[in-house]
Chains A and B, each alone.
Chain A
């Protein structure tokens, strides 16, 4: 191995630091879009999430509440666009994100409720089918029983 001179060593260390700094800058600067375009993006995410929550069976009332809040986020975004205010854009992002979170949670609950409602409905219909089939099968016994009760009642009346 050839021993490196001090200046060469310094150059290597400098090059290594530059690489590190470049990698760090790249990863942070690319991950942060400006608040105004982020606000628009989050609004559309909120819209998408409400639509999918509705398709999972969220109630009309819950969906209307979410839409009301998304309209607040839209107004904030419009004001941010008109004034160029990042603060308003951040408020809009927060509101849209909160709508998305609630829509996802409500969607999951609605999906579970829908599944339970279906299971309950079909369970009841199978139970009713068993009972009706048994009733049809044993109808002669039921007729005999009714006749017996009728004749006893007639005898008592006489």
Chain B
């Protein structure tokens, strides 16, 4: 009888371990590689033809419609901020660890649900240009806001301007927006740029 009880106990403990492990596997959340997707699409919804025409020249007072998309694969809701800067060919570009230092022309914010993609409209217009010698600076309006005149000029008669877009995420631990997103081992800075010419 005692032998039978011991055998039952050994079998019961063994099967409990096996079934318990299986239950733990089915109940636990799947591991995922966290990342944020970031893209800028043209008016046609493609990754090309950002500016109509072949010269990349943006005409005066013609609003250019772009669509910024932020995808959240971080496993929890995120508060995303896109910082738009105006630069030229000599502007220091952002890196994977450091944001750029070009003047900010627009800021867009959106909460992005887990596994979802949020669209942000980025509509901008060149209101006027200011030419001093060979240098050209522009006056812009972004998303119907107040006009801005960033202290950036381009040489060769308004060629080689660029709009830089940086992705910043709100960190609850510091209660501030931080450049990039928190990867599995370190922060990952994400940025995009589109070149254009002033008229």
Contacts and interface: CB of A to CB of B under 8 A. Distances in A.
Interface in A126-150: 126, 128-130, 132-134, 136-137
Contacts of B112: 67
A47 B79 contact: yes
Interface stretch (A2-10, A11-19, A28-36, A117-125): A117-125
A71 B145 CA distance: 19
B68 interface: no
A74 B20 CA distance: 45
Given A128-B19, A137-B8, A51 B111 contact: no
A117 B24 CA distance: 11
Given A54-B77, A125-B20, A136-B11, 9 more contacts: A47-B77, A51-B172, A54-B76, A64-B113, A67-B77, A67-B113, A71-B118, A121-B23, A121-B27
B47 interface: no
- A82, A122, A128, A129 interface centre (most CB from chain B within 10 Å): A129
Nearest to A127: B19
A101 interface: no
A132 B11 CA distance: 8
Given A48-B172, A118-B27, A137-B8, A125 B16 contact: yes
A88 to B, nearest CB: 16
A67 B111 contact: yes
Interface size class of A (residues with CB under 8 A): 20 to 34
A133 B11 contact: yes
A70 B108 CA distance: 15
A41 to B, nearest CB: 11
A60 interface: yes
Given A51-B76, A128-B19, A67 B116 contact: yes
Interface of B: 4, 7-8, 11-12, 15-16, 18-20, 22-23, 26-27, 76-77, 79, 109-116, 118, 145, 170, 172, 175
A39 to B, nearest CB: 13
Interface of A: 44, 47-48, 50-51, 54-55, 60, 63-64, 67-68, 70-71, 74, 78, 82, 117-118, 121-122, 124-126, 128-130, 132-134, 136-137
Contacts of B116: 64, 67
B110 A74 contact: yes
A129 B15 contact: yes
B74 to A, nearest CB: 10
Which 7 A/B pairs are nearest by Cβ-Cβ distance?
A: A125-B19, A133-B11, A129-B15, A67-B113, A133-B12, A129-B16, A121-B23
A129 B10 CA distance: 11
Contacts of A137: 4, 7-8, 11
